[in-house]
Amino acid sequence: MAGAGEDAGMDAVQKRLMFEDECILVDEQDNVVGHESKYNCHLMEKIESENLLHRAFSVFLFNSKYELLLQQRSATKVTFPLVWTNTCCSHPLYRESELIQENYLGVRNAAQRKLLDELGIPAEDVPVDQFTPLGRMLYKAPSDGKWGEHELDYLLFIVRDVKLLSNPDEVADVKYVSREQLKELISKADAGEDGLKLSPWFRLVVDNFLMGWWDHVEKGTLSEAIDMETIHKLK
């Protein structure tokens, strides 16, 4: 593990979470094989040398107008600061309530917890039974020379009108976007306009799944899109 001096510039809140949070380690078939600190799970050195792979989730929350809520990650995030991404991206922790496999309840519980932590969305606005897990993907993405991601990511969709009160330690900005507005955002990111960047996991979902799944959101047929058997290995 890196010495304290190397992490002197790390934001105090993010540093506490890095060392206190224990992520769930899994194999490529999503079997739990152990646990490790959030810090070690995001060190590229550890990811490469020990092939550390942890379970994660990405929430896509739509309002009743079928607009997708995006967030810009805060400047103090250790990985991918100030990058725009889907509604909420985080990890179930190695605790009883978030290890429950049945009906993916552990991941749903974690999603509800982090929507409150990051965006101030009350639990009653996002009941765990309203999340629809649509699929899983496995990806690896360096953030900079030191940090990165190697995740088996559960993709959770939910359509709810919610109250928002963003946590500035986690989130720099939020906005709802239509499909056309998202396409404009992607074009700007591709062109490097205004320094705008999208997270690699969000871009993978956009490029491989999102627009087809958005059709199901609008038609109320999300259940037809569910494929939790396949683990999509994406780059």
Enzyme catalytic residues: 89, 151
Based on the number of CB atoms within 10 Å of its own CB, is 220 exposed (0-12), middle (13-18) or buried (19 or more)? exposed
Q: How many CA atoms lie within 13 A of 200 on its CB side?
A: 17
CA angle (212, 215, 221) in 5-degree steps: 110
- List the helix and strand counts (H, then E) for the chain: 7, 10
Helical H segments across the chain, by residue range: 12-20, 38-41, 44-50, 105-119, 179-191, 200-205, 211-219
Beta pairing, strands 54-62 & 148-159: parallel
